[in-house]
Chain A
Amino acid sequence: MAKLWAVIRREYLERVRTKWFVIVTLFGPLFFGGIMILPAYLSVRSMREARVANIRILDATGTGLGVRIADRLAAPTLQGPSPERAPVDELRPAELAAREAELIAQIQRKELAGVLVVDSATVSSGAARYAGRNAGSVGDIDVMEAAIRQSLLAFRLESEGIDAARAESLTKVRVRLTADRVTDEGLGGSGIANTIFGFGVAFLLYFSIVFYGQAILRGVLEEKTTRVAEVIVASVSPDVLLAGKVIGVGAVGLTQQLVWVLSSVGFYTQRATIFGAMGIKGMPQVGLPSVEPFVLVALVLFFLLGYTLYASLFAAVGAMVGSQEEAQQAAQPVIMLLVFSIIFAQPVLTNPNSRLAEIVSWVPFSAPIIMPMRMTATPIGAGEIIGSLLGVLLASVACVWVAARIYRVGLLMYGKRPSLAELGRWIRQS
């Protein structure tokens, strides 16, 4: 046991001390923090910065629609002070073309951001046109569309005899759709949050397994090519060496994820402060995913078993080959198994209860990635989760058994990469 511990400690410390570990571990929270904050920041910012104030409105309707639109655009928003009111030119349809051309020239000279034109077609069918430097900004266009729609609606209500104040209050409708998830236990948290969380979990599992699996492969290969392996297996059995390696590297991965999870939780709980510091008052609502404790436990088990399964396969590949180049090639089948899992992430996430989703969460090679994603995105029966876990457990045991045998023989074999038949002999003979 003391020797196993020595192997684990060496694997752990030698990796945790590297520059790369520190960089990736610290970069993670920045990355996740960025993912959490940046879209919210950008969306708020783009709304606030919508340059609809620096436009000119040409109104050829003769109904005062342009003024209504300008009023709405200038109304104070949640995000900040009310923008400057856009000037309105009321003119006859015949004058429209000339004035519009004149304004477009101004836009070219950057004296103006854009020009919004409303005419009789707007009143009858809602068709309006806008030309400006910010025509590509979805946020700006949305804001203008909303203003036109509301103004038109108010105008029509008034022309049907409803008084101005009432029309105003009737058209000021804000729609906010909250999507709640229903689970067996009742009403859960935000549905979208769970989907995002599910995808995050799948990505994290995939990333960790690929990253740390490859680390194991490189470690085994290093011991083999530097011939350190022979000194070590003269002191401890190859099984102890393999176990120590898998556990040590796994512990490095867990350390990293712990840092990530804790910092994400930190970001989340401190988000009000962070948004405040960035000058955003109205904080976009971020729904918390609702995850039951049972699912969390299963999540950790899926990670541990999935990691063990792939780590042992990568170790066997490392023991089979003699150089980095060969390793790239020989690792392909194992990588393919992982890629195959992540390819199904998207379809499974869009339709987590489909037959496809069920199948790939039962296949032991994809289950460690797909099942955790599925069960966080949508409620799944405990029986199915446990069954899938058992499948992964059995597959892990089988993979470790086979890999340990390949490892034992391959570690001291130099020269040509073994054929499948030779591999079979290695497995039988050791």
Chain B
Amino acid sequence: MPTPALEISGVTKRYAAHTAVRDLSLTVPTGTVYGLLGPNGAGKTTTIRMILNIIAPDTGTIRILGAPHAAGASLDRVGYLPEERGLYKKMMVRDVLRFLAELKGIDRKTADLRIDEWLERLTLRTEAKDWGRAKVDELSRGMQQKVQFIGTLLHDPELVILDEPFSGLDPINAQALKDTVVELRRRGRTVIFSTHLMDNAERLCDAVCIIAGGTKVLDGTMTDVKGAHAGRTVALVLESDPPSDVRAALADRSLVARCDDHGRTFELELASGADAQTLLRRLVSAGAVIQRFERVQPSLHQIFLERVGATGVEPGMSGHG
């Protein structure tokens, strides 16, 4: 088995008033796109900061690409885009990027070559205008986001960590980000990103870890996670608005554990012990005119609600994101 890109084992971080991360263990295989999912204040940012050795865990170990994360050389192989983004406003774009590259151990010559490539690729340098020579605060917000993104990838990191990368992006930059993530994966790089938006995660991730209240709720490959929750979910579409008997059937907790009601469209989760046949018979006898009744794989969103809803979100946990 190849060396995992990231191994976290038994990591705990306590603050005076609360525990931000509790006994967290996870493994990110090399070459995958990994989603760190959780509600706001779940401990995602704290976890990421511990991976990057910005804050020290109270207990547990973290290894990046097989080496202890605190070793300087380990962090040189990691690219990081924090949730709160910012650059030196008064500096020339090119100087900021060169500085960020130097902090990752890239010499100036190599950095300059790559900066040119990147500026051209993201259309910050064209025949008409070279934004690399402008000061950061002369750039639009969208352009600054691009510069920040270049800064994250300039040293061609093997492991890329993006904290809530989609927040605050305009649709064009969001698409560019998705394309880049796919491109990085194709080149064998590992990408970890945190998000509370399940749609993005579902489409991009090979594997996920859901955390809530500082504790891991579940983790695994997307296929495994969905497989474990398969067969319990039913997609139901009715011809018309349901009569009260049908509503009563859907509200029966011995049959339906959860019902995501959209009017005529429902995503149902079967109660434990109940089976789909029984539910179907009950609905038909109650007078439902069924357009679609299908056992489906649950969406990540559904799984998230099911698992995190049960665990709950501890209040007052959002101080570090």
Contacts and interface: CB of A to CB of B under 8 A. Distances in A.
Contacts of A412: 49, 54-55
Chain B: interface residue count, which band? 20 to 34
A2 interface: yes
A227 B85 contact: yes
Given A230-B54, A231-B151, A425-B16, A236 B88 contact: no
B91 interface: yes
A234 B52 contact: yes
B89 A226 contact: yes
B86 A228 contact: yes
Interface string B44-80: 0000010011110000000000000000100110101
User: Secondary structure at chain A's binding surface: helix, strand, loop or mixed?
Assistant: helix
Contacts of A10: 95, 99
B126 to A, nearest CB: 26
A169 interface: no
Interface stretch (B102-110, B170-178, B220-228, B262-270): B102-110
Interface residues of A, number: 23
A237 B52 CA distance: 10
Contacts of A222: 88-89
B159 to A, nearest CB: 12
Contacts, number: 61
Contacts of A223: 88
A228 B90 contact: no
A236 to B, nearest CB: 6
B89 to A, nearest CB: 6
B89 A3 contact: no
A234 B87 contact: no
B82 interface: yes
Nearest to B51: A234
Nearest to B55: A412
A236 B82 CA distance: 15
B148 to A, nearest CB: 8
B308 interface: no
Given A226-B87, A231-B82, A235-B76, 13 more contacts: A222-B89, A225-B86, A230-B54, A230-B82, A230-B84, A232-B103, A233-B54, A234-B54, A235-B75, A235-B103, A235-B104, A237-B53, A415-B319
28 contacts: A2-B105, A3-B103, A3-B105, A6-B99, A10-B95, A14-B88, A14-B91, A222-B88, A225-B86, A226-B86, A228-B87, A230-B54, A230-B82, A231-B82, A231-B86, A231-B100, A232-B103, A234-B52, A234-B53, A234-B78, A234-B80, A235-B75, A235-B76, A235-B100, A235-B103, A237-B53, A412-B49, A425-B16
Interface of A: 2-3, 6-7, 10, 14, 222-223, 225-228, 230-237, 412, 415, 425
Interface of B: 16, 49, 52-55, 72, 75-76, 78, 80, 82, 84-91, 95, 99-100, 102-105, 148, 151, 319
